[in-house]
Amino acid sequence: MPRTTLPTLSLQAGLSSPAARADLLQELRETARELGFFYLADHGVPQELIGNVLALTRQFFSLPEKDKLEIQMLNSPYFRGYNRAGLEHTRGKPDWREQVDIGPEQKALDITAQASPWQRLIGPNQWPNALPELRPVILEYLGAVTRLAIQITELLAEALGQSPRVFAPIYTPAPNQLLKIIRYPGRSATEGNQGVGAHKDSGFVTVLLQDKVGGLQVEGPDGWIDAPPVPGTFIVNIGELLEMASGGYLRANVHRVVSPPSDVDRLSVAFFFGAHLNSTVPLLDLPAALKAQARGVTQDPGNPLFREVARNYLKSRLRSHPDVARRHHSDLLDEVERISTAAGTAY
């Protein structure tokens, strides 16, 4: 039968006994290989915190434009802050969503001529003066979903016959954390429907919180699969880092967001958990039975993958936010333009 929905995995129930854990690991391994996407229930993140995050997300996007533009990303060389709809790009085409990009709170590094380019991405967030309560709640949530993402990554490693901590050397002590609070404005059918264009995520896993309006679609063997909000769950998907590390056994799948109708909007909060930028993706030595089923890493001329984590992440940031790239990192654009030209896509 054609698959029309994403599977649902229950985290706490799956950890309740050794037998339940074995079943969870098998289900996780099969799901992460087949679709690379699933709903996660009983995840342990407090519902009160989730409700506060969604409420503050709504409050932020309801602020006057001048208050939102006070923290616009264009002023941040670290790619942190607010973007109006149409300023982020997927494969050269504008995505119709407004959003705030937030990472761990860090001090900017002293950049010398000998510094690696990735060190330019280390720096502070921008927070709106008009909504001071946003910062503590978002940082609390960032910590909670980071712990959850680490737990999922450890379970995936175990499901692949590895030590649960096999990836710890490349995400400790400072993983790459990116949180986006997002609003998709409604659009009429004549305005186009690219909320976010078709793409894959680059890290270990993504943990997605949706409000009440759907729009996420996942590529399936028989066409796009709708992934509407399900109360009490997150959507979790596999990133390209795990696809590379598993030799293609795990699947980083293509997905997109379709704009909602003109009379509604959609909120989501996406957390991307990745390796620290000064690291290299390992190739796991899988058990023979799993290695025989590994499909190899997807080869996409428009999005070549590198085992150097910083090189992948810089490529993504520079291509997704061309205005920020031109203002703060114009000397790094040659490689991005070369990749885009080779792929036949507009930068």
Kindly report the CATH number assigned to the domain that includes residue 248. 2.60.120.330
Checking if the pLDDT of 342 tops 60, the result is no
Does the structure show a pLDDT above 60 at 109?
A: yes
Instruction: Note whether residue 114 is domain-resident.
Output: yes
- Quick one: pLDDT at residue 337? 62
3-class DSSP state for residue 62? coil
In a domain, 301, yes or no: yes
Q: How many domains does the chain have?
A: 1
Torsion of CA 126, 128, 134, 138, to 10 degrees: -20
Q: Is residue 69 part of a domain?
A: yes
Pairing of strands 8-10, 37-41: parallel
In a domain, 2, yes or no: no
Give counts: helices (H), strands (E), the chain.
Answer: 11, 14
C-beta of residue 117 within 8 angstroms of C-beta of residue 198: no
Structure confidence at residue 23 as a pLDDT band (50, 70, 90): very high
Which residues have a Cβ under 8 Å from the Cβ of 245 and sit 6 or more positions away?
Answer: 167, 281, 282, 283, 284
Tokens 């709106």 correspond to 128
pLDDT band at 344 (very low <50, low <70, confident <90, very high): very low
> Terminal CA-to-CA distance of the chain, rounded, Å?
40
Which structural domain, as residue segments, surrounds residue 178?
A: 8-343
Give me the sheet containing 194-199, strands edge to edge.
Answer: 194-199, 255-258, 216-220, 223-226
Question: Is 265's pLDDT higher than 90?
Answer: yes
Rounded to whole angstroms, how far apart are CA atoms 218 and 338?
29
Taking 90 as the threshold, does the pLDDT of residue 196 lie above it?
yes
Mean pLDDT of 56-80: 98
Q: What confidence tens digit (pLDDT) does each residue in 5-16 have? A: 999 999 999 999
Residue 74 within a domain: yes
Q: Looking at the domain assignment, is residue 1 inside a domain?
A: no
Is 77 contained in some domain?
yes
Predicted TM-score (pTM) of the model is: 0.94
Domain for residue 3, yes or no?
A: no
